[in-house]
Amino acid sequence: MIARLLALVLLLFAAPAAAQLLEPAPAETAEPTPAPTQTIAATRDAGDDDRIADRISGIFAALPAFKQVSVSVNEGVVSLSGQVPSEGDIARAEDIASRVSGVVTVENGIERDVSLNADSAGLTTLAERVDGLVKMLPLIGVALAVWAAIALLGYLIAGFGALWHRIAPNGFLAELIASAIRFVAVVGGLVVALDMIGATALLGAVLGGAGVIGLALGFAMRETVENYVASLMLSLRQPFRANDHVLIDELEGRVIRLTSRATVLMTLDGNHLRIPNGQVFKAVITNFTRNPQRRFQFDLGVDADDDARAARKLGRETLAALDFVLDDPPAEARIVEVGDSNVVIRFLGWIDQRKADWFKSQSLAIPAVKEALENAGFGLPEPIYRLRFDPRSASVPFQPADGEATHERAQDKPRPVRQMTVTEEDEDTRPTDEIAQMVDAERREGGSEQRRDLLDHSRPVE
């Protein structure tokens, strides 16, 4: 790869030289015409130096910048001395003197005037600029008035909120359109005002500086801009509704609202969770609410010596007989693997989340299938472990602790099991909606935050 790059670079550098070598030579090469050379006369007439000095002095007298310049001529050599307001005037004086006929050369001894006095060049220039600014004040006032009028017109157009809300699919995009109109009106008015006063160069500098600043801010506020764009896309796509039970990557909860910066959830334990919209837009979203039918599943293992197919059939029939399990789709049981001491069967059942709670239904289905299998004589063995003891430890006699009988260890005694009565309330599978009620209350009491909610129930969910 590096060799190819080096070859490409050499080719790029060699191509112009090769093209020059391959280019056919012209039939005739035109010789450049030499510039005429001014010759110096061998003799001079009396009074030539005085005429040159008078001519140059007369020219300088007509130019205010050269009033303090002195001119002397000797044998055609012009000597300039004195002071001028700016550096450019020094070269200008030498150029004027060298163009006078009969001048052999110019010795330029002019310096710039840097003194602070009433006739100082800097103060004169500043006074001239102030005077020019004063003369332009009426035009500047008119330009400012035009700028204000254009900006005011833009703000008035942007103020038609009902129109933009009718055109835009949601309030967030309507506010974005109004802000864009205001921005265009302000910048457009500034362009017109600067053009009126002839400050187009200043306009270019302002726009160039604004572009550089905007680029720097874009890099510095990359995440903020990303969240802003993600908020716009989420408001258009509407991936969920308020109070939907969602899983955003590993974050689970019910949706409270979608703002211009974050998605607000209430977790299943009642806490508020704010997720940046940039993360939400790129995340994998699981919505448990969109489809009212939801499936639960659990695994049970029967003894390896039992008939796994009969256990599968009995468990499926038991699961289908439960009131909260739907007939369509039907309950299912699958033999998934053979373990070390059992055969693992996976039981699956569907519920309607509008009538039954998913967690409650699964909690009641597991013991129901387990008891049905045990009552039918199927064993649900525990894991079997094989222990190997060091032969040297076999000769160590057992030493009972104080208060422990030698013929019975305390941990071998059966533990008493408390008998509990299962009531109809314990068998209740109605949906648990305490989190949903909290979300509804939060939305009702949201105030200004609720008005900034980007969730729109009138738009379809993507």
pLDDT tens track for 53-108: 889 888 988 888 888 899 999 888 999 998 888 888 898 998 998 888 888 899 98
More confident residue, 48 or 256: 256
pLDDT at 22: 38
More confident residue, 46 or 275: 275
Strands (E), 198-341: 245-248, 251-258, 262-266, 272-276, 285-287, 293-303, 332-338
- Do the Cβ atoms of 348 and 341 come closer than 8 Å? no
pLDDT at 49: 85
- Do the Cβ atoms of 231 and 241 come closer than 8 Å? no
pLDDT tens readout for residues 227-242: 888 888 888 888 899 8
pLDDT at 11: 42
Q: Which residues contact 61 (CB under 8 A, 6 or more apart)?
A: 67
Read off the tokens for 130: 């102030």
pLDDT tier for residue 192 given thresholds of 50, 70 and 90? confident
- Do the Cβ atoms of 334 and 299 come closer than 8 Å? no
pLDDT of 435 above 70 = yes
CA distances from 247 to 120, 240, 285, 304 (A): 77, 11, 6, 38
Q: What is the DSSP letter of 351?
A: E
* Percent of the chain whose pLDDT exceeds 70: 73
pLDDT of 6 above 60 = no
387: left (phi over 0), alpha (psi -120 to 50) or beta: beta
For residue 151, count other CB atoms closer than 10 A to its CB. 18
pLDDT of 381 above 50 = yes
pLDDT at 29: 46
CA distances from 278 to 242, 348, 438 (A): 19, 36, 26
For residue 43, count other CB atoms closer than 10 A to its CB. 4
Q: Cα separation of 313 and 300, whole Å? A: 13
Q: What is the DSSP letter of 331?
A: P
pLDDT of 373 above 70 = yes
pLDDT of 269 above 60 = yes
pLDDT of 455 above 50 = yes
pLDDT tens readout for residues 329-369: 999 999 999 877 899 999 999 999 989 999 999 999 999 99
pLDDT at 17: 40
Q: Residue 118, SS3?
A: coil
Q: What is the DSSP letter of 231?
A: H
pLDDT of 140 above 70 = yes
pLDDT at 233: 87
Strands 105-112 and 77-84: parallel
Lowest mean pLDDT among 250-264, 312-326, 329-343, 381-395: 381-395
pLDDT tier for residue 215 given thresholds of 50, 70 and 90? confident
Q: Cα separation of 89 and 385, whole Å? A: 105
pLDDT tier for residue 413 given thresholds of 50, 70 and 90? low
pLDDT at 124: 63
Q: Residue 246, SS3?
A: strand
pLDDT tier for residue 399 given thresholds of 50, 70 and 90? low
Q: How far apart are the first and last CA of the chain?
A: 46
pLDDT at 5: 40
Read off the tokens for 345: 């069967």
pLDDT of 395 above 70 = no
pLDDT at 349: 95
| Mean per-residue pLDDT of the chain | 78
pLDDT of 453 above 50 = yes
Q: Cα separation of 247 and 240, whole Å? A: 11
- Do the Cβ atoms of 94 and 106 come closer than 8 Å? yes
More confident residue, 213 or 275: 275
Q: Cα separation of 440 and 243, whole Å? A: 7
| Residues comprising the chain, all counted | 462
Q: Cα separation of 352 and 177, whole Å? A: 43
Strands 342-352 and 293-303: antiparallel
Read off the tokens for 97: 């003197």
Span 443-458, average pLDDT: 72
Q: What is the DSSP letter of 419?
A: -
Return the axis-axis angle of helices 171-196 and 200-220, rounded to nearest 10°: 150
pLDDT at 410: 44
CA triple 104-107-111, angle to 5 deg: 150
Q: Cα separation of 70 and 50, whole Å? A: 13
pLDDT tier for residue 426 given thresholds of 50, 70 and 90? low
Span 310-336, average pLDDT: 93
